[in-house]
Amino acid sequence: MPRAFTPKEIKAIVAIIRDWPMSQKLTWDGICKASEMVLDFVPTRQAFADKPAVTNAYKIRKAAITSHRDRLASVPKPKSLTAAAETIVRLQEQINQLKAENHLMAEMARRFIHNAVLHGLKREQLNAPLPKVDHK
């Protein structure tokens, strides 16, 4: 009769499942083989069947991997490496532009707050909610 798993071993097996690569298919056979590092033997799927922590981790990770795969499938693939590189460059330029705009807006907000305080407005007044507009 096989020995019972210790809580430490169960925790390690759950960690293996949680860290399972998104690019690899998650199977019970794969989990059993990966568990050999922790247990020093290859358990069967049935050995994990009555371990809720392991089965729950499996279900959650399996759903995450499936969801990730489905999301990747819906993303349009570039026709070539050149097209992918052009997309990357365009997106990096867009990120840099948005960062610059964000910096300018933050600077403007700091200026507004500074000037408002100089003219006697308090922070509470500045953070007051906008009045409701009645469109009748």
Tell me what pLDDT residue 117 has.
85
**Could you give the CA distance from residue 56 to residue 60 in angstroms, rounded to a whole number?**
6
Q: Between 56 and 117, name the one with better pLDDT.
A: 56
How confident is the model over 20-47, as pLDDT tens digits?
A: 998 899 999 999 999 999 888 898 889 8
pTM assigned to the model: 0.57
C-alpha to C-alpha distances, 81 to 69, 85, 86, 87, nearest whole angstrom: 21, 6, 9, 10
